[in-house]
Amino acid sequence: MRLSERRKEGAFYFVVQHAAGEVVGGEVKIAVFAAAPEGEGVLLLLRPLYFDEQSREHIDNFCKEFAYEAHYRAICLDGAAHWCRVARLYEANARILKEEQTLGPEPLEKSCQELFHFLRRDLVRIEGRPEYQEEMARVSRGEEVDLQEPLALLARVKDLKVVSACQGSAMVQLEERQIYLPSCHSLRASITMGNFPQRLKNYLHSGPLGQHHLALFEENRLSAGHPFHNKRFIRMLIGSLHAFLQKYGGKGTWQAVEKESSLTEYEI
């Protein structure tokens, strides 16, 4: 099957697409459509193919199995097929590897290929780890339990409203590899605000988060510098927010502090 070929199997059309992908090694995808009287029908699934999966035999097997085996088709559409689970892990970790990689394209592709083969081979071992199961259960519930305390502290800061928050990806250590788990929103722990008060931003930047390069400070967003630091970032943020509120007060005391500060500056 050529990489640009279209085919019909049973009640489905399959279109193999070849284009530069966002993830290393993912240049080929199979688009699956429900057959319709006119055109290609309704898009049901986009199946990425990585590295050695990009072969005529692999593509043929997938198309036929999806078209004629109801159970396989169901787990593909539910995201429970082996390739779906591998792809989620690989895409998360390949993006991190690409950000970290200082070598050229060829060494990066080799590292990503090794990562993909490792995940495909050891997927069941990874999924069997308690921390994996706990994290996937948390993600499915949409909970951000690690951020409960910092969000409660931020709620006490005057003129600050949190728009969204994500505690980022958790990590599983397997052999010598650190495997980052797919997160519901972002790989990095992050908090987006409607307004990031300059006094708070300056205070956090001058404290441990800035001194140890654990955080990225954007206009209205604060995030961990790397997924590896998610837990430490959150711990440091909690300590810094407690110290900030102790120094400047929270809602209700802010205006008094502002007034006292301005008077002092004027008198000086």
Distance CA 139, CA 169 (A): 10
Task: Calculate mean pLDDT across residues 38-53.
Answer: 85
Residue 16 sits in which domain range?
Answer: 6-125
**74, 97, 125 — which closes off a domain?**
125
Same domain, 27 and 55: yes
- Which residues on neighbouring strands pair with residue 164, listed in sequence order? 192
Query: 10 Å Cβ neighbour count for 80?
Result: 10
Is 154 within 8 Å of 222 (Cβ atoms)? no
Total domains, the chain:
2
Same domain, 68 and 27: yes
Same domain, 183 and 257: yes
Kindly report the pTM of this predicted structure.
Answer: 0.76
Whether 118 is covered by a domain: the verdict is yes
Whether 37 is covered by a domain: the verdict is yes
Give the ranges where the chain is alpha helix by DSSP (H).
Answer: 56-68, 70-78, 82-100, 105-127, 130-141, 148-154, 198-206, 208-211, 230-248, 254-267
Same domain, 177 and 104: no
- The tens digit of pLDDT for each residue in 122-173 reads 999 999 999 888 888 877 777 778 889 999 999 999 889 999 998 888 888 8
Same domain, 103 and 159: no
What pLDDT shows up at residue 257?
A: 42
